[in-house]
Amino acid sequence: MSLSNEHGVTALVAHHIDGQLCPYCGQGITAAQFHKIQALVANQAAELEHTKAEISQAIYAEREPHQSEKLRLESRLADMQRQLQAKPAHHRGEPAEADLYDTLRVSFPGDQISRVSKGTSGPDVIMRVVHASDIAGCIILDSKDHATWQNKFTAKLRDDQHMLGADFAILSSNVFPAGTRELHIQDGVIVAHPERVPVLVHLLRRLVIENFRLKLTVKARNTKADMLLNYIVSPECRDLMEKAGELSMAMAALDAKEERSHRTTWKARSALIAGIQAAYGNLSDAINDITEGQG
């Protein structure tokens, strides 16, 4: 019979006491040995409860980080942000450009996506849309991380679009011309907040493939492109993109929360198992000392 709790062991010992037999090994024991085993069981049960209490406290501490640590991290983040703002704009833009490139490669693994080397004229990222092993079209992208808007951003990207014969040009930017936000068309270039870029590229990519598949003329392609651009900056499209962005962020937050919960549970379970094994091991050793020590 397994050792499940103090009452179970006490009952089992009481059942065999008249015959002075150890309930674990079947050997004869004295009344004094019986009382010693009974006291040991009670001590081990108390130790197990103490171990559970310590684990519960550890879990609570992990779920409720100290406020001082939170404040320290927030202060550190503010310092890093101030340092970042002190850097030249082209240095600040490099991480954003890399994030844009990585996001596109993950989202559209079948396309040919490349970064333009620093010091080379052209956009930051060139995305060649692939359909049935053929290049269906091209989308170019720039990433800007400046404190203020400059009209030359879109003028330069529009020149890049003409030079490369790209179907669309997107400027991923945190700043916008006065009176605009999130999505804007300027110089024929789509200015979009970084969070809007993936879904925007998805829409443009579909049109590029459809135009290629239908073998539309340049005039027909331009007409459809203008229709899509008009829709992109419409209130309806803006609302849909904002909703999609909110849902994506909520899903990412849920995934992160679930991962933290699993890790906390796994850590707590491991600690409980280790504590129980240690308690049973100590109990077994003590009982062996008692039963094997009798003359």
- If asked whether residues 71 and 24 sit together in one domain, one would say yes
Domain range for 7 is 1-86+272-295
The DSSP call for residue 28 is: B
Domain annotation covers residue 240: no
114 pLDDT higher than 60: yes
Of the residues 216, 233, 250, which one is the last residue of a structural domain? 233
Mean pLDDT of the chain: 77
Domain annotation covers residue 66: yes
**Total tally of structural domains belonging to the chain:** 2
Q: pTM of the full predicted structure?
A: 0.53
pLDDT in tens, 38-82: 777 777 777 777 776 676 666 666 665 555 666 666 666 666 666
86 pLDDT higher than 60: no
Mean pLDDT check: name the lowest of 25-39, 185-199, 221-235.
25-39
- If asked whether residues 201 and 287 sit together in one domain, one would say no
27 pLDDT higher than 50: yes
- If asked whether residues 48 and 99 sit together in one domain, one would say no
5 pLDDT higher than 60: no
Domain annotation covers residue 253: no
- If asked whether residues 98 and 70 sit together in one domain, one would say no
- If asked whether residues 227 and 97 sit together in one domain, one would say yes
Q: Strand order in 125-131's β-sheet?
A: 112-115, 125-131, 134-144, 168-173, 189-192, 183-186
**What is the phi/psi pair of residue 190, to 5°?**
-85, 120
> Looking at residue 2, what is its pLDDT?
44
State the sign of the Cα–Cα–Cα–Cα dihedral 107, 108, 110, 113: negative
Instruction: Say which CATH number the domain at 156 has.
Output: 3.40.1350.10
